[in-house]
Amino acid sequence: MKMETRKKQNQLDRLRIIAAGGGAPHADSAPAIREGLSLSNVDKPSVLIIPSAKRTAVSFERAIPATKEFFRRMGLSVALLHNFNQAINTEDALEMINTADFVYTAGGDTLHMLEQLRKAKIESAIADKALRGELVLSGVSAGAIMPMAWGHSDSLSYRPEASDTWDYIRVDGMGLVPTAITPHYNTINERLGARSDKFHTMLTEQGDDLGFGIDNYAALRIADGNITQFQSNPNNFIHVVRNNNNRITSEPMTASDSIRLSEL
């Protein structure tokens, strides 16, 4: 048992993740993504973009070419997991994962994105390489949820049939980090109200003791077995949300705060 515990701790210590709450990597979240690139410990990391959360041609074309150009301007080699409306080719995807140092996962429909990775049977290849410390995982919104146990997701808002009746749902992530998160923690939906309140309710319903709210333009930084805060904007934070017998408290992290992954 002690050997298994030690192995798990070693894996957690090797994880390197930047989970941003909101914003495009080529704009407001660029500092967080650059921080993620620095975690690769490679001078010119090879980048793999996962665009699967972009479900419409408009959203894909608005975000993905600019994201590719963002990385290319830094002189980095960039691969795209698939084009719009194209099925993931498992063999090609495994080769791209094998040669990548850094994965960037775009925002959008979290549930759809994870379904596509699981359908192509490549989720475990990404997870295993990350746990070996050979791959940095980064992403915004849906991409922030991907490595976590689960996320508070607005996936249903991207479905045409949802119209104005959608609500937030729980979406199970890869489970590399044993906690729940919500991106866009500091936003308000005109119909549903504050996203933070909806996350608090879901955390209580799920019976979880701890979760993290990630503001737009802030990011959860994971390295060396520690969770710390990275801010693209000094007014935006990571919020530590605790559920104590259905009593919710939420506290913003400071620059000096650090939480051990092993304590989650």
Per-residue model confidence as pLDDT tens digits over 84-131: 989 999 999 999 999 999 999 999 999 999 999 999 999 999 999 999
Lowest mean pLDDT among 5-19, 84-98, 124-138, 230-244: 5-19
- 23: confidence class by pLDDT, cuts 50, 70, 90: confident
pLDDT, residue 42, reads: 95
Asked whether 125 and 155 are in contact (CB, 8 A), the reply is no
pLDDT, the chain, mean = 94
pLDDT, residue 1, reads: 44
3 pLDDT above the threshold of 50: no
Domain at 2-263: CATH architecture = 3-Layer(aba) Sandwich (3.40)
- 5: confidence class by pLDDT, cuts 50, 70, 90: low
Strands 136-140 and 102-105, bridge-based pairing: parallel
What b/e string do you get for 79-90 counting C-beta neighbours within 10 Å, with b at 16 or more?
bbbbebeeebee
Overall average pLDDT of the 248-258 stretch? 97
24 pLDDT above the threshold of 90: no
Residue-range domain boundaries for the chain: 2-263
CA distance 113 to 55: 9
pLDDT, residue 116, reads: 97
Predicted model pTM: 0.95
Q: Give the strands of the sheet with 177-182, arranged side by side.
A: 169-172, 148-153, 177-182, 210-214, 238-244, 247-252
33 pLDDT above the threshold of 50: yes
pLDDT, residue 29, reads: 83
pLDDT, residue 10, reads: 81
Residue 158 in tokens: 């991207």
CA distance 166 to 155: 9
Residue 154 in tokens: 């607005």
219 pLDDT above the threshold of 50: yes
- 28: confidence class by pLDDT, cuts 50, 70, 90: confident
Taking only the tens place, the pLDDT of each residue in 183-217 is: 999 999 999 999 999 999 999 999 999 999 999 99
Is the pLDDT higher at 159 or at 238? 238
Taking only the tens place, the pLDDT of each residue in 154-189 is: 999 998 777 788 999 999 999 999 999 999 999 999
Which residues, in sequence order, are CB contacts of 252 under 8 Å at separation 6+?
Answer: 237, 238, 239, 240
